[in-house]
């Protein structure tokens, strides 16, 4: 059976055996006070056979409690401090031994183990009332009976000495300045404070094994955290993108949050800058520029979400057209267009609790990463995207938001001789520990791009706090490509005269004469050219052009008739092949090549175009006077539906064919047979076979398009050489005369065909004795448009037998 | 009939003088009181001499004689003597417990473990019954749980939280909880005394030991 027990009876009367009572002992950090006697006596109760009780007491054994000197150095709880800030390292140094001790405290160094720390210019020591102070250092002044402040430059010497009873503690307050280079998110550890306690051997305490002096040390640890830091994240949505209500405007969004540890305070200088009635936190965003012009800002809205203990903050919109944002700020209305030429948008956050605006989120956000759910401030801006070449290029315009924020690091209660650091202003391009009262806003802190970005920039995180990520945007992509004759990619034409003139049917006509080939018409009634008889090559230069608003890769593809060969080369602006073949072979009739990343809209206009040359290998079966039309197609990679064509028209032997016919005069040749006296009229028809006769323009161009040069016969000279060595079967009857079907107006409207005899061509001369040369188109301009024809006639009388 | 209820040595080695080394004669005087209930003491005075190294033996022999005389002169009765010793408990390299007597004038550091050993000797001619040795857990010490041992089979240790008023093998305390007062085992540091209850008797001339450890606070 468990007897009723009452707790807490330590020290109660000892009732058995007649033993003495032991009083309770005073509590000690270490244990029983030194010198305390510990005695013990046993007793034995028993009975005899008759039940008579007896008690036997033993001897008494005694020992004493030995000295156990002990001292503890306990630093104050871990706190939070910012670079450039200050904190008080407070050490509690206790004689935790079991007796009176002489306590010596020293500070081995004046810098912390963290190189960024430095002791302030003074420290304070507060002794317990039970302490008996020893020598007071020379540079110390009593500020109370048991407290002094020391203005020590060298604290490596003794800083406190006193005899203190067990469990008595003194306090050492050591202000520490944190350097600007202190690493955030790492602990700052001060140099240990050392303490030694010395005991004298207590009376009646044996000396064997007694320890009379021990030492200990302790360090203050502070967590270095970021002061108020404005984390910003900027994003952009293209027109019509999900989340952007506009189908025509870009929508920029800036999310802001105080990613530091402490709340931000209002900056008076913001008030000065904006001319506002209150100070606050100013978030600025440089309006993106394209081609040196800022985008038009159609609307700005801003909202503030309160959290933590800071409420009441509101957002006000400002703008300026000042190039640096250093002045000219005016109040703007939410949701309305800002003045043309606005360079900066500013949102003032003010009115928060106690002059603070944004509670520190203690690391929930970081620079460039502020999810909307974490944002305290959200700014939304609608801007008109730019137009023009290059505006569609990725990141055609890049910028970022940035701002400054008031530091609000807590300062410790100052002790005599120590001054707290001022509140800071934190932001990009602002040195740590810059007092907010000195330079809250610097023109250079607004709209700065870190780093300066170039075209093709890939958005990255920013380099300094107070700036957002850089955001690149571009106008909606507009792809446009052209393929045309050399240097005229946008040319228009009708390669066959039948189709409408446009930039798809433009063409380059190339008449060429294969080596050793004599183009000959093999028909007496029509144009039927003879075969070349051997493979031949001809090169045609062309030019492609990207006229879209973005960088594009243009792919040229060519398909020639079966049996041909196609090879693609780069070409100079003169149409000369440069470099090695890019695609194709002399024996394959197709070739495709992608001219990569053809830029658009950049400073060098020529960079928008690429000249290329195609070398065609024609088979031996190719015939004279034939127009071989090969289509070159260029296609946009950005938009495969966007393509353009040009035609290469190849004419072996040239386009001009001669068809010679004879007509017997019905009167002199009544039977239709050439008899003596019969007059035979010869007609030499010259034909520009490049296009159908129906093409021959009734109205000639005022200038000859370069691309069509291959189709226009220039300097057309027809020579009648009679018969080699002459003949005797007839005599000339008429002088040759031309009757070209040609332009009646325009370039060669005034020209007439003329026949110039190298010798006289009088009537009655022997055929073959007199040659003539006919110049089609006149003596000054010799042009025969494609499809046009002409005739040279002359007559011969058959000699009598 | 004369009943000798108690035989005790009133005075120890009184009057011993001179060195005991060598063949010297030592005179020792003592008295043995024989208490007869209701009649007062009967005093026997005697003396003896001894040579070196024989002193203890002869004294013991003499005492035996004296007690025999006493017994012969009185009724059978248990006569239990109690003694207590203290030793410092440590462990050697092998972990075995080493007991070192606490030297005179020694001091102990807090944390030192002290073993108290109580020896009960029944010098009477009758078994001592209901033997209950007891001792304190000194105020500056704490009982070491599980350290109470005895040479007497079935001897059970009991503890007191109230200076010996009440005893229990597992003293309980009332603890206030949200559910009200509940009974829980008391912490051993609260123990103030220890005793053993011996269901067996300590026979005449029997010897029993009881020990326990405390830690100096």
Helix (H), strand (E), coil (C) string for B110-122? CCCEEEEEEEEEE
Would A71-224 and A481-654 be classified into the same CATH topology? yes
The pair of three-digit structure tokens given for residue A337, joined into one six-digit string: 């267009």
pLDDT at residue A246, as a whole number: 95
pLDDT at residue A20 is higher than 50: no
Task: Average the pLDDT over A65-88 and give the result.
Answer: 85
Q: CATH for B80-216?
A: 2.60.40
pLDDT at residue A617 is higher than 80: yes
Residues whose CB is less than 8 angstroms from the CB of residue B177 and which lie 6 or more positions away in sequence, other chains included: none
The pair of three-digit structure tokens given for residue B35, joined into one six-digit string: 């208490």
Q: Does B94 touch chain A (CB under 8 A)?
A: no
Q: Does A203 touch chain B (CB under 8 A)?
A: no
Chain A neighbors of B195, CB-CB under 8 A: 16
Comparing CB atoms, the residue among B108, B110, B129 nearest residue A47 is B129
Distance, CA of B176 to CA of B10 (rounded, Å): 53
Distance, CA of A780 to CA of A747 (rounded, Å): 11
pLDDT at residue A265, as a whole number: 81
For A186-245, what is each residue's pLDDT tens digit? 777 777 788 888 887 654 455 555 667 788 888 888 888 888 878 888 888 989 999 999
Q: How far does the CA of residue B23 sit from the closest CA of chain A (Å)?
A: 32
> Distance from CA of residue A637 to its chain's centroid?
22
Region for residue A362 given its phi and psi (left: phi exceeds 0; alpha: psi -120 to 50; beta: otherwise): left
Chain A neighbors of B141, CB-CB under 8 A: 38
For A282-298, what is each residue's pLDDT tens digit? 888 888 888 889 999 99
What 8-state DSSP symbol labels residue A327? S
pLDDT at residue A160, as a whole number: 85
> Which pLDDT band, with edges at 50, 70 and 90, does A410 fall under?
low
Q: Which residue of A has its CA nearest to B169?
A: A2
> Which pLDDT band, with edges at 50, 70 and 90, does A633 fall under?
very high
Q: Pick from A3, A11, A44, A167 the residue to mutate for testing the B interface (most B CBs within 10 Å).
A: A44
Say which CATH superfamily domain A71-224 falls into.
Immunoglobulins (2.60.40.10)
Distance, CA of A773 to CA of A767 (rounded, Å): 15
CA distances from A365 to A224, A312, A464 (A): 17, 22, 14
Chain A neighbors of B174, CB-CB under 8 A: 6-7
For A366-392, what is each residue's pLDDT tens digit? 777 888 888 889 999 999 998 877 788
C-alpha torsion A94→A98→A99→A104, nearest 10: -30
Length of chain B: 217
pLDDT at residue A391, as a whole number: 83
The pair of three-digit structure tokens given for residue B112, joined into one six-digit string: 């030192």
Distance, CA of A632 to CA of B134 (rounded, Å): 119
pLDDT at residue B96, as a whole number: 93
Give yes or no for a contact between A628 and A510, defined as CB atoms under 8 angstroms apart: no
* A451 preceded by a cis bond (ω within 30 of 0): yes
Sketch the domain layout of chain A as residue ranges.
71-224, 230-386+397-411+428-473, 481-654, 657-798
Neighbours of A621 (CB within 10 A): 11
Contact B134 A44 (CB under 8 A): yes
Give yes or no for a contact between B167 and A3, defined as CB atoms under 8 angstroms apart: yes
Task: Average the pLDDT over A129-135 and give the result.
Answer: 92
Task: Average the pLDDT over B118-125 and give the result.
Answer: 95
Does this model's pTM top 0.80? My answer is no
Contact B130 A46 (CB under 8 A): yes
Q: ipTM of this predicted complex?
A: 0.70
The pair of three-digit structure tokens given for residue B83, joined into one six-digit string: 């003694």
For A728-784, what is each residue's pLDDT tens digit? 666 766 666 665 554 444 444 444 555 655 555 556 666 665 566 776 655 445 567
Q: Residue B108's closest CA among B137, B85, B135, B86?
A: B86
Identify the weakest region by mean pLDDT among A84-88, A439-443, A574-578, A611-615. Answer: A439-443
Distance, CA of B11 to CA of B29 (rounded, Å): 8
Q: Residue B5's closest CA among B54, B76, B102, B67?
A: B76
Say if domain A481-654 classifies as CATH 2.40.33.10. Answer: no
Distance, CA of B139 to CA of A44 (rounded, Å): 20
Distance, CA of A56 to CA of A43 (rounded, Å): 5
Higher pLDDT, B99 or B103: B99
């Amino acid at each position: 059976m468990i007897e009723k027990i009452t707790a807490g009876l330590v020290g109660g009367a000892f009732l058995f055996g007649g033993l003495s009572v032991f009083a309770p002992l005073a509590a000690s950090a270490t244990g029983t006070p030194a010198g305390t006697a510990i005695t013990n006596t046993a007793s034995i109760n028993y009975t005899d056979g008759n039940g008579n009780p007896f008690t036997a007491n033993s001897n008494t054994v005694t020992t004493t409690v030995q000295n156990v000197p002990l001292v503890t150095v306990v630093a104050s709880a871990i706190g939070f401090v910012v670079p450039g800030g200050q904190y008080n390292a407070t050490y509690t140094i206790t004689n935790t031994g079991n007796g009176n001790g002489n306590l010596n405290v020293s500070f081995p160094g004046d810098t912390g183990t963290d190189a960024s720390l430095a002791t302030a210019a003074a420290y304070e020591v507060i002794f317990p009332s039970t302490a008996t102070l020893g020598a007071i250092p020379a540079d110390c002044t009593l500020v109370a009976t048991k407290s002094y402040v020391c203005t020590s430059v060298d604290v490596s010497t003794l800083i406190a000495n006193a005899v203190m009873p067990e469990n008595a503690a003194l306090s050492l307050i050591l202000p520490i300045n944190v350097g600007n280079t202190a690493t955030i998110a790492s602990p700052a550890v001060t140099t240990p404070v050392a303490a030694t306690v010395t005991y004298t051997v207590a009376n009646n305490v044996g000396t064997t094994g007694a320890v009379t002096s021990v030492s200990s040390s302790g360090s203050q640890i502070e967590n270095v955290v970021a002061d108020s830091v404005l984390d910003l994240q900027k994003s952009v949505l293209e027109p019509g993108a999900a989340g952007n209500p506009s189908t025509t405007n870009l929508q920029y969004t800036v999310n802001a949050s105080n990613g530091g540890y402490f709340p931000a305070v209002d900056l008076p200088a913001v008030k000065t800058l904006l001319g506002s009635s209150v100070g606050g936190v100013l978030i600025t965003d440089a309006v993106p520029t394209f081609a040196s012009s800022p985008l038009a800002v159609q609307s700005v809205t801003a909202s503030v979400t309160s959290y933590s203990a800071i409420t009441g903050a509101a957002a006000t919109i400002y703008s300026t057209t000042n190039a640096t944002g250093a002045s000219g700020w005016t109040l703007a209305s939410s949701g309305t267009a800002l003045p043309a030429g606005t360079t900066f948008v500013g949102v003032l956050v003010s009115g928060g609790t106690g002059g603070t605006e944004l509670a520190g989120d203690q690391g929930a956000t970081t620079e460039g990463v502020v999810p909307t759910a974490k944002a305290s401030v959200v700014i939304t801006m609608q801007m008109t995207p730019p137009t023009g070449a290059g505006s569609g290029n990725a990141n055609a315009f890049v910028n970022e938001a940035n701002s400054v924020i008031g530091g609000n690091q807590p300062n410790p209660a100052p002790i005599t001789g120590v001054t707290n650091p001022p509140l800071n202003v934190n932001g990009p391009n602002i040195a740590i520990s810059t007092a907010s009262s000195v330079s809250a806003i610097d023109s250079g802190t607004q709209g700065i791009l870190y780093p300066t970005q170039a075209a093709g920039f890939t958005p990255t995180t920013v380099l300094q706090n107070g700036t957002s990520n850089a955001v690149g945007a571009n106008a909606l992509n507009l792809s446009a490509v052209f393929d045309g004759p050399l240097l005229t990619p946008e040319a228009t034409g009708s390669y066959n005269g039948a189709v409408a003139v446009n930039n798809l049917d433009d063409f380059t006509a190339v008449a060429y004469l294969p080596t050793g080939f004599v183009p000959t018409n093999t028909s007496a009634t029509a144009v039927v050219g003879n075969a070349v008889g051997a493979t031949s090559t001809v090169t045609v230069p062309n030019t492609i052009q990207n006229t879209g608003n973005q960088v594009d890769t243009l792919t040229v593809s060519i398909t020639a008739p079966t049996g041909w060969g196609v090879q693609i080369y780069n070409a100079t602006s003169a149409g000369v092949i440069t470099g090695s073949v890019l695609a194709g072979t002399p024996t394959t009739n197709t070739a495709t090549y992608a001219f990569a990343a053809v830029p658009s809209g950049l400073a060098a206009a020529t960079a928008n175009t690429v000249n290329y040359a195609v070398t065609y290998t024609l088979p031996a079966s190719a015939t004279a006077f034939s127009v071989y039309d090969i289509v070159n197609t260029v296609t946009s990679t950005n938009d495969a539906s966007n393509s353009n064509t040009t035609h290469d028209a190849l004419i072996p032997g040239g386009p001009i064919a001669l068809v010679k016919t004879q007509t017997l005069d019905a009167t002199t040749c009544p039977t239709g047979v050439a008899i003596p006296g019969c007059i035979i009229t010869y007609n030499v028809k010259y034909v520009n076979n490049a296009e159908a006769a129906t093409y021959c323009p009734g109205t000639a161009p005022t200038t000859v398009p370069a691309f069509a040069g291959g189709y226009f016969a220039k300097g057309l000279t027809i020579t009648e050489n009679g018969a080699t060595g002459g003949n005797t079967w007839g005599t000339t009857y008429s002088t040759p005369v031309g009757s070209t079907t040609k332009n009646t107006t325009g370039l060669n409207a005034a020209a007439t065909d003329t026949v110039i005899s190298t010798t006289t061509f009088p009537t009655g001369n022997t055929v073959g004795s007199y040659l003539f040369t006919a110049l089609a188109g006149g003596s000054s301009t010799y042009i025969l448009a494609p499809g046009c024809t002409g005739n040279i006639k002359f007559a011969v009388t058959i000699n009598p037998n | 009939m004369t009943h000798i209820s108690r035989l005790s040595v009133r005075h120890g080695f009184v009057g011993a003088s001179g060195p005991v080394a060598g063949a010297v004669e030592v005179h020792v005087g003592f008295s043995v009181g024989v208490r007869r209930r209701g009649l007062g003491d009967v005093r026997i005075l005697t003396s003896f001499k001894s040579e070196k190294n024989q002193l203890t033996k002869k004294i013991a022999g003499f005492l035996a004689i004296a007690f025999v005389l006493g017994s012969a002169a009185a009724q059978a009765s248990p006569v239990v003597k109690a003694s207590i010793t203290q030793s410092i408990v440590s462990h050697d390299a092998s972990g075995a417990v080493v007991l070192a007597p606490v030297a005179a004038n020694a001091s102990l550091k807090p944390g030192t473990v002290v073993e108290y050993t109580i020896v009960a000797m029944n010098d009477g001619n009758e078994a001592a019954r209901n033997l209950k040795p007891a001792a304190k857990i000194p105020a500056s010490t704490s009982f070491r749980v599980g350290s109470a041992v005895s040479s007497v089979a079935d001897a059970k240790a009991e503890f007191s939280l109230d200076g010996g008023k009440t005893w229990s093998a597992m003293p309980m305390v009332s603890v206030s909880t949200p559910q009200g007062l509940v009974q829980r085992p008391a912490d051993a540091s609260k123990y103030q005394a220890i005793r053993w209850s011996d269901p067996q008797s300590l026979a005449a001339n029997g010897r029993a030991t009881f020990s326990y450890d405390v830690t100096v606070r």
